[in-house]
Amino acid sequence: MEIQTTKRKKSVKAIIISFSILFALYLSFSIYFSNHFYFGSVINGVNASGKTVDKVDKELLTKYASYTLELNERGGVKEQLKAADIGLKYNSNGKVQMLEDNKNSFGWFYEIFNPKNSEISGLVTYDEKLLKSRFDKLSAIDSKKTIEPQNANFKYTDDGYVVVKEVMGNKITSKQLYTNIISAILTGETKMDLELKNNYVNPKYTSTSKEILATKILLNKYITSNITYTYASGNQVIDKSVLNKWLTVDKNNTIIFDEVTMKTYLTELDNHYETYGTEREFATSVGKTLKVGGGDYGWKVQRAGEVADLIVSIKSGQTIAKEPRYTEKGLNHDLNDIGNTYVEINMTKQHMWFYKNGNLIASGDVVTGKPTKDRATPTGIYKLKYKAKNATLKGENYSTPVSVFMPFNGGIGIHDATWRNKFGGQIYLTGGSHGCINSPPALAQKIYDNINADTPVVCYFE
């Protein structure tokens, strides 16, 4: 029993001694760290491990005296801002001491396993004017050296549209860069990567963006359209070789139809279609071939509406044959769109003919407008607007009832003139109408009974 008691006493004694040694060590380190920074401490980029406040202050002073901030930019460009450039001065104002005072020296055992990197702001001051002046001279914000970012775009090839890779450029968000530089200076950073700091203005869409890939598919769908315009002298095909010139993609990755270019193209195409008011060769009943222009007869394309129709067809990728949309229509698309049903009025001979399907239905002398500014019958090719019975013609100082009236140019039309007993000759020179075609009743009635609205009416002087 005495032996066991002796062993137990020795063990207790050993434990007490070990604990005392450990406590003494712990207490020694606690005393040491009461005026030294913990191992592994870094303050504003300076290694403060096991150092006193004075030592750290001196090293920070040395650091900031020769401080240089290196800017790493795109394209391997590097620039520097030095302490002397910006009037940088170190003055801790007791902040390093405050950091030391605020730590728990008895917590050193935990802290040595959790190294701490401290960033103290306000350890330095700088001259704002010098900093702004140096900042304004940076190559990074030099507009002459700035390359604007460009979205991924599209290029038309024989095989369709392909994606053109984006241009990253080097355009800087200067306000953000200035803020980041100040932050780096105040915290003692010596290197700043502008890319990592997100200081660049980047393209919104890159070649791998899902939006770009979707637009490429859509563009290639649009150019599969094949639209054939048919007209009397041939056909005009609009396929991808034309369509690609009408399509652009804006900065928001939206496909834009160039309606100005489309209208220009259609204007040229309309030469095959539009005859409205144009000059035509006309074979007269007296054997002469004349050029007659003006009037409102013929085909006229509604370009704005036609562009809208085209866009709908293209977006659907359609293959179609079509005619344009018209605001005015003739009777046919023959090269001579007057055809073989028309009224012919030779105002030199004061004679009128009416042909239907190539057959002469009626003809006879007439009296046209008196050749004065306010009463002359205009030349040109018009179309009959309508026909009416028992109309009353009204004008300044007259109101005249007629049995049949066939207007073709505003209030000017063909009608019976029962008040006249002579027609033709030179009557119109002094006793002409107010612009209408005064006709013998039988002639007017014959034409009325056989004519339809939209029939061409050709008025000319030889």
Per-residue confidence (pLDDT) for residue 20, from 0 to 100: 65
Residue-averaged pLDDT of the chain = 89
The pLDDT-based confidence of 192 (bands split at 50, 70, 90) is very high
Per-residue confidence (pLDDT) for residue 312, from 0 to 100: 95
Per-residue confidence (pLDDT) for residue 23, from 0 to 100: 57
Residue 22 exposed, middle or buried by CB count within 10 Å (0-12, 13-18, 19+): exposed
Cα-flanking dihedrals φ and ψ of residue 29, to 5°? -65, -35
> DSSP 3-state assignment of 320?
strand
Is the pLDDT assigned to residue 147 strictly greater than 90? yes
Is the pLDDT assigned to residue 461 strictly greater than 80? yes
Residue 169 exposed, middle or buried by CB count within 10 Å (0-12, 13-18, 19+): middle
Q: Which among 271, 285, 282, 286 is positioned nearest to 381, based on CA atoms?
A: 282
Tokens 């005009």 — which residue?
236
The pLDDT-based confidence of 254 (bands split at 50, 70, 90) is very high
DSSP classification of residue 360: E
Per cent of the chain over pLDDT 70 is 88
Type of residue found at 398: Y
Mean pLDDT confidence for 374-383? 96
> DSSP 3-state assignment of 296?
coil
Q: Which of 25-29, 203-207, 271-275, 346-350 has the lowest mean pLDDT?
A: 25-29
Compute the Cα dihedral for 79, 82, 87, 91 and give only its sign.
Answer: positive
Is the pLDDT assigned to residue 1 strictly greater than 90? no
Q: What span, in angstroms and rounded, lies between the C-alpha atoms of 281 and 299?
A: 16
Q: What span, in angstroms and rounded, lies between the C-alpha atoms of 430 and 64?
A: 109
Is the pLDDT assigned to residue 215 strictly greater than 90? yes
Segment (H or E) for 381: strand 380-383
Ranges of beta strands (E only) in 148-293 are: 153-157, 160-164, 191-193, 226-231, 234-238, 247-249, 255-257, 280-283, 289-292
Q: Which of 276-280, 388-392, 418-422 has the lowest mean pLDDT?
A: 276-280
Mean pLDDT confidence for 232-261? 91
Per-residue confidence (pLDDT) for residue 172, from 0 to 100: 96
pLDDT tens for each residue of 228-243: 988 766 788 999 999 9
Q: Which of 43-52, 124-133, 258-267, 345-354 has the lowest mean pLDDT?
A: 43-52
Contact, 91 vs 125, CB < 8 A? yes
Tokens 């900065």 — which residue?
251
Is the pLDDT assigned to residue 327 strictly greater than 90? no
**Kind of pairing between the strands at 234-238 and 226-231:** antiparallel
Is the pLDDT assigned to residue 121 strictly greater than 90? no
Q: Which of 107-111, 336-340, 392-396 has the lowest mean pLDDT?
A: 107-111
Residue 198 exposed, middle or buried by CB count within 10 Å (0-12, 13-18, 19+): exposed
Per-residue confidence (pLDDT) for residue 47, from 0 to 100: 87
Residue 103, token pair as written in the block: 């730590």
pLDDT tens for each residue of 379-412: 999 999 999 999 999 988 889 999 999 999 999 9
Helices (H), 189-258: 210-222, 240-243
Cα-flanking dihedrals φ and ψ of residue 12, to 5°? -65, -40
Per-residue confidence (pLDDT) for residue 22, from 0 to 100: 63
